[in-house]
Each structure stands twice: as structure tokens, then as C-alpha cells.
Amino acid sequence: MDHRSSGENYTKIIKISPRLRIGDFGCGKAKIMEIFGIDRVASFDHVAINDKVIACNMRSVPIEDGSLDVVIFCLSLMGKNWHEYIKEANRCLMSTGTLLVSGTVNAIEEGRLFRLKEILSENSFDIYKEEQWDVFFYIEARKR
């Protein structure tokens, strides 16, 4: 993300209460876990970069129903079945849990994520904040 968007998204995450459990879906290099620690962050990716990252498909993460307070997708809604990742996030989130999604504007306006807002609604999420910076978008949604 550009400097402004990555800085503002980091600020959003840093403000998350220390009591809340975070799921980083498609964590890449597990930077969120690096910042907040393994006790607070469950990091999932198709390929585990270390023994703290859980290798799995984001449509079926090995975690109990309702065990997360926040789920993050940062440039990680990839593949044809990305809509299944949203369904899985819903399963993993506690009631009224928060979903944070960021990606490219092109993907949401014309590309593979063009139905994202509809899919969020279909999976019982209400969007309460949308922002755009340059070529990136950011959505905060809450589970109904």
C-alpha cells in the first residue's frame, strides 16, 4: 500500500484493544503477528513461512467457531473462491466481530472483487466504513 494508506491501516490495527484476538487471513510474512505477538494473532496462509504461521486454505481455517474478534484480509482475497474466505471469516468471528479488508481499487471496481460489498452483505456483514487512497481501498465491516 502507499505510505498514507499503510500508515492509516496500521493505526487502525494498533488501536485494537489488547484483549481482542486477531485472525490474519493470508498473512504473507506475518507482520501483524510480529507486531502484536502469537498470543493475540492467529496467522494463516497457503504457505507457512515459519512454524508460527498455519498453512491452510482460507476457506477452511483450523480454528473454533466464534474464536476471533477481528479478521484481517490485507491484499489477500485471491483466487476464484475468495467469496468462501468471507464465509469462513464469518464462522471464525464472534458475534459483532470486525472484518477489515484492504485491496486494490481496480479489483473492487472492475476485477475479481467487484461483488465484494454484495458478498459481505450476503454473509451477514454490515459495512460501516469505506475509504480509498490512490489505488487502494479499505473496508471495515461488522458481523450481524
The tens digit of pLDDT for each residue in 51-107 reads 999 999 999 999 999 999 999 999 999 888 999 999 999 999 999 999 999 999 999
Asked if 9 and 74 count as a contact pair (C-beta separation under 8 A), the reply is: yes
Number of domains the chain contains: 1
DSSP letter, residue 35: H
| CATH number for the domain that contains residue 116 | 3.40.50.150
Residue-wise pLDDT for 30-43, tens only, equals 999 999 999 999 99
Q: What are phi and psi of 14, to 5 degrees?
A: -65, -25
Q: Which domain holds residue 80?
A: 3-143
The whole-model pTM stands at 0.90
